[in-house]
A and B are shown apart, each in its own frame.
Chain A
């Protein structure tokens, strides 16, 4: 799991906890605007963070919560118990999603409906608050994107817009068990500004068979058109399952209407009526064949009729459908019969009337009067069937509803309808959707099904109505007028309640100052434990107790081990991966290269390499400068690159690796490199080097001149570079954390910059040297070697001493002279001088000292107060015997 996500999850839990607490406090003092603002801020932050991830369900709920809190904050909506309950519910849901996301790294699309209904419930409060009235009609909630397939809905769909071939294909698929859905996608007007491409979205719909585009309103004059206000609606016909479709459109469930389509509605013959219905003979003959069960004969008759007719005729279209129906569903006599009968009038088969001929209920005389109990029962079944299909227990639900309906039919003596009900059930089970049953209900009990259940319940007083499942919003609206509220949240179960076992957070947030303090204390332990060997030495030499000395040493070994482990673990706490800095580069490279019209591939390697927080943080600015330089000066434009035979897109590689106790960051590009001649000339022009240096400077040295302050090859200052501060900033920042910098460049091939940084700045290794009876520390990273050179080998060139070491001239400087002590360095018995060879900006320099001592790991404290102005020292440290070691800053003393 990526660190950003981890952080998000841990922060979300904290925020959720905070929101819960604030809500509880608000119950005590509902008027406190301070608490309210705090609460808004928490929800707002959480929502903002969630937007970084692919969590639309979560964002949707939080967004609604944020809007609501905003309304409350501004006094548009009053705080209430219901508000707190719903908000807590929403936050429980968010917490549940976080848990699920952490466990599986994805969120099951089945939560969409809960998410939408929760968001809706929150927004409802805002609407109620604004109008200050309660919607008494029990307004239908928009919680379920799938609408029940009422006959009217299916008729209203423009199925005739689909080409016949597509409809036949869909019909074939549906007979083989595929579901059919009609999707109406109405993107929000400002969707382009959110980077959406609804057309692309619609085109990529899973299982798409057909789609069309329509404008919402007549087009205005071109001069008044706003191209970025979306006024297009999309319609898609798909054979994908509802779960797939919901998952696909999970970002925009509020803009979708998904209607299941029964396959019969696809049978819509089209064409030229050719003078009207004149096929009575054929119809009679075909019906006779059909009722006799002579499928072969019927097929023959239809085929010969087709051959005789113009394929564009309405008749031919109907016959083609008939053939298809006979082929696919030879047992379904109703469909064939319907198609044949339609030839008498040349009007499409009226599937929305009663699909099955044995239904007398829906004939012209209208529905027979039903008792209120039955009406209420049927309405309840319809509500149940209208619930979303994408649940595991759909089969059980369908069977239960059918059993209830079957009971009703028996009670009413409508036994002849039972068969059609069973057929509808079979269809429904095959499709895994309630649509066929709803269709059957729509056909059988027209009128009842359109009456809202809440009204029915009021008319059917005194009846023992079965337990009714309702969606949350409608129920709570109702409860507002009917008295004591039924617990509104009882239906929303997402397995998470306040009393559930609380999983403690895995991470804690700690103020950096506390860690620093811990670090200092551990540093002191390290120093204090270093006192033990001295003590052991004294026990032996001064007091002559050898036994005690050995015991102290043994104890020291134990303390040493523990101290080192402690130090190590506190370092671990402060460690951060370099990805923290790296993650901003892809965007930087993309934006900058677009601006410059260059093509660049950025490759990041070793992002998981870790280093101390301070080191990582100090890396940010230098790296930005280096990469900008590479982009601006290094990588050529695609045209130039092509003429040079390089790939059009340049490559920048940023690689982090760990080498013993240092982190190496390498930035490499394959651009044009640095031309040493240009650098030399520019440096000379700007007065950075003099004539003499210009003549003898090596190419490598010249290239490194880019790090000099005030250097710039560009004559024009652009917004990217040219001010001559960039590389100087890089050098300063890197040196500040004891890092080193190395630049290699080959003209025409590219440039490589290597930053070497310490893993941690807490512990510094220094070498102790002695001079004039004082000890000094010299940082190990600048020490190259220690040698003893006979006095005879030291030459004096114009007052400056030098020696030849392995064929190279090394200038020598006495340390005493460097720090202003007028004492010559001491030699040992063999008349040799101790020389510490140090690296000074890439050159070797020898420092003459009196003697070398050991190297120690110290906690370097920077000089403070009045001492801070002494540039010769980088800091001080306490040694084990309690003495103070001054650590020299090599660069400053020369």
Chain B
């Protein structure tokens, strides 16, 4: 049986034509299987850092679900989703919101997709959310970072879920870490991409710092390079000339790596303390070129932060992933796999409640809403936004190079509970931060 369909442009075109002609597109036994669309960046700048690792993580988990080889706590849950095999339709997320909305409609209305587990870009998720609700399509976002999905775009979702924390948790965890580990810091500045993710990241970190360390001055010249600009000479000069010793950055992918190359050559990391929100995606690839001493996050217990989490599921995932792709799993791998696990958990739980019969979509949704399931490396609590937004523990640490192991490691790691870094249920993240983070359980 053909399990994975990796679609490039040509394949997508062929798929579209075939669908238009009423032909099967490799999804032959749809009635006896669950068709899971997995959109992720397979081309473009988002592919190396997030898209391809996410695809890889999803592939590993889907294959194990279909074979029934997942370790505990899923070792007794049988094969597939509620007994039905997953037929994964993995396709490219590139092209922007308009194209992805068209693809979404096409997959739902012409190809009979049962659920979506995917999307990486905050922009795409924002565009897809209202359409998923309109089409009543179960959609699980495993990665998108912007808090706006359930705080602005749809405050009462029924069909859309997100199975990881959002950018507010990054900002709070980072500020808490700075307060605990750099109590005498003389000021902070930042360099973040000038789009939704970069702006949200800086806003939340800045608001959290203003609450936790109100006397620490913030620069009035934080840097806002264009996404994918790749050239940071002037920004690095400005950061080096600034008097603030701490630099916050949510750069990712090629932008992050270019910034590290250019900054290293100019001694930026010797002169300033860098704090990277999501740099875990690059540390294995960069090896010794990754800036030792930088503070890193991964929006949860993912990637390098999960390297020492000793559970059967995590140990199995890391080994299978490493053996298959010859690199350790990074944040995107974990997060995508976690999204697929959410589907596994929800279908099986719904089937059990349905007397062992295959559940309806509404039953699956009811099973996932407000639940707690085991992610790859930590429990995932679906207890925000009416049970549609996840909260997980958060981890921040300092990157170092382990000479003996010959690889990067995280040191001085601090864990933050989900109720410490995520706004309480029903509370808008920005308002929560401005109001002094009331109700935070740290």
Q: Do A and B bind each other?
A: no
Q: Which A positions have Cβ atoms within 8 angstroms of B?
A: none
